[in-house]
Chains A and B, each alone.
Chain A
Amino acid sequence: MENLWCVAGTIFQLWMFVVVFFIMLPAMFGLSLGVTEVYIQVLVKILEWATLRIQRGRQEQPSASVPLHTGIIERAGGSMEEEMWQLRCSRPEAAGAFCLSDGVYFCKKGLESIVEDQVTQRFSSEELASWNLLTRTNQNFYYISLRLTIIWGLGVFVRYCILLPFRIALASTGLSWLVIGTSVVGFLPESSAKNWLSELVHLTCYRICARGLSATIHYHNKENRPQKGGICVANHTTPIDVVILANDGCYAMVGQTHGGLLGILQKSMVRSCPHVWFERSEMKDRNAVTSRLRHHVAAKTKLPILIFPEGTCVNNTSVMMFKKGSFEIGGTIYPVTIKYDRRFGDAFWNSSKYNIVSYLLRTMTSWAIVVNVWYLPPMTIQDGEDAAQFANRVKSVIAHQGGLLDLAWDGGLKRYKVKDSLKEEQQKTYSNIIVGQNDIRTTKTCSETRGSIKLDQ
């Protein structure tokens, strides 16, 4: 029994030694020992080798290669008016009246939606063009060779038995030091020294957490980094986005107060520097939220606020509609694009499929997290522009930088089953055709469209 305690004690001392000297001290000064870089390079070599083997294996066995573009059906690009006009081709006098063939249009659209709908595609993880030796992405790949399977098996062992415990220990160390450190700093009187110390504590602990995920972050355009009194706006893929951004600067977080461990974290963080935590009841009152954030921004000495205007996690191939609430606060907006490299692990949190604990487990058993962060030049609302237009402008800048698709859909579509307004749109357009307000004869003549149909066959 005593031996067990001795052993545990030594392990703990050894662990603390490693953490303090190899991780904490470099983190405090923002340096890196280069271990992660070497690891990533080795990984890339192995994955490239695996890809070649898979490609070779595929050539030997002609097989079911699953189409990996984002859609499997070809959709006619025409508007409802054009499609209806083609359907009614036989009877130009039918404009302004209902035809039985109209139902065919809705039927086809319905069938297409059954096979595939474009909204939910964005909320499921993007497929990889090759297998990255993680079991979870092995939906479409199968046994190729013994060597590959051995490497995969080794990979499983390394990830689950070596990396996972190390990462969990590191992450818990980082978080507990964050709580302790910020509480300690909270006791100091308000002064510039306190702010400096608080920043140091936050940065160090977030860097330790980032090490705990084997995260390699490349920051671009650091001259555009968000300044005090500004609002930082970014696309949202995972809760880890916060850690990624906080590795390079201190932000005032915005969010709901939680209970439990997260609540303890929130309470201690707010002791050392002003974050903005809302009670659940306050969140419902939009004016209260906006005015509190406005006060924070107006005090130019406070840290920049970090907001994710999409309101939900999206799978990092596109950017969904930005909620205009964040853009009504005023102040300068600092857009930031975050793009994850999918080869090393999928960082997207599919909250309908996984809860936070299983998500963290999956992330900690991936190879690594490699992410590019681009700081974009600050933007302000222009005259004659309302909050929604400003939001769209910022969104397209962010999407353009990261090579993401700029979509107009509301992220909330993920959660709500029926969005009645979309159905109403369709009904409105259709009623205009029937009641005759849309002149559907303006596009093409009947014979032209018939000719183009023939070519398709």
Chain B
Amino acid sequence: MWSRRQGRLRPVVCGVEELRRRRREREAVLRKARREQQLVSKRLLRDDAPEEAGEGCVSAILGETEVQQLLRQAQRGTEEKRERALVSLRRGLQHPETQQTFIQLEGSMRTLVGLLTSNQAQLQLEAARCLHELSHSEQSTVAEACLPATSYLLTYLSSHSSDFIELCLYTLGNLIVESEAVRRQLLPQGIVPALAACIQSPHVAVLEALGFALSQLLQAKEAPEKIIPSILASTLPQHMLQLLQPGPKLNPGVAVEFAWCLHYIICSQVSNSLLIVHGALSTLGLLLLDMAEAVQRTEDTGLELLACPVLRCVSNLLTEAEMETVGGQMQLRDERVVAALFILLQFFFQKQPSLLPEGLWLLNNLTANSPSFCTSLLSLDLIEPLLQLLPVSNVVSVMVLTVLCNVAEKGPAYCQRLWPGPLLPALLQTLLFSDTEVVGQSLELLHLLFLYQPEAVQVFLQQSGLQALEKHHEEAQLQDRVYALQQTALQG
């Protein structure tokens, strides 16, 4: 996947600064969309051969007469001539103006569908490419004009030409996010069984496209009620998990798509016990180990694209009530998971700090109810690395302190391993923060430390702990706890 992507990216024609600016802009747009719960993205597969670009002419916008003419030419004559007409049409359809002209022309979609289902292979392909351009449009009228073609796109998912299937899948993926109206047509047309049949394809490109289309379907607002149940009832979950199993056959591009699919399913909380029964936890756990190994080997692999959804899946799965009752191998007990997680945390620290909270979320869920994992944190000497994350941000600090509380609350045997050591000095630092939540969590941890390791109190006093506490004695949210700690310290 990664090399394929690099082969298709535009060479840098503008400066790095410009690229950064564009990226920041795009990021801002995406953030806004996400906050409005309108985050959708389409994908465009465009295979223009180099010589077309070399001709120097950017494809022109086509007018109504030209579109009509090309459609006529596409229906009669030698296969070559017809194909060329469609190629010209396709290039014109790269422009929103041509797209509008096309959909407003009576019978145009009918003709295109006719060509899509014709008995001439190259015409089919070109017609599908035209359809794909239309599906990518940001204007709903254009995308919705493609609806007459969907039953055929689905039919072709069980054909055998992998390039064609890939194109159909990306087109479907684009149409899916267009509107609930589109999905209300695709679901009764059998998109779920069609995908379930198609996922058995051995072609990597097909699988990646399928993962993309499925992820689009799963992001729909109505997915938890209307889509996810039928997906869980199909054979898709088993196949998805198979495609996520680490090993020589694991393809990163495919895995990324299906990891996101799993995430959308799991965080919708429809029926996660089913996934656990299928071995999701052990598969994803092994995948975590695999990623931690990969991170050590290669430099910049874009691994965070895969790590993010996997971490989310495991974290959410760990909250399932079934965890208590389900048998040994279905649970996650292997302490290598903790080791892998820290290697990933280090990777995030260097490459993608915004993912640190997600990693720490997993650490919290691993340690909250598990004396064994808390013991691993201690025996593998991971407390100090954890403390190194404190300065990153307030959110990260709170989570680090929460994990430490998970350890400390288990009693004296655990606190003995937390002090003496770097913990107390770190806490004296966090008490100086102004963020209420950070300080609040520090107070909780101090309380546990004092309770189970009273010798720490003296040192706390010697290091001006009381003054640090005093800073917050007016803060409403902290007052009671500050006072209680001061009392404990003075009596101790």
Say if A and B assemble together: no
Q: Interface residues, chain A, CB within 8 Å of chain B?
A: none
**B interface vs A, CB < 8 Å?**
none
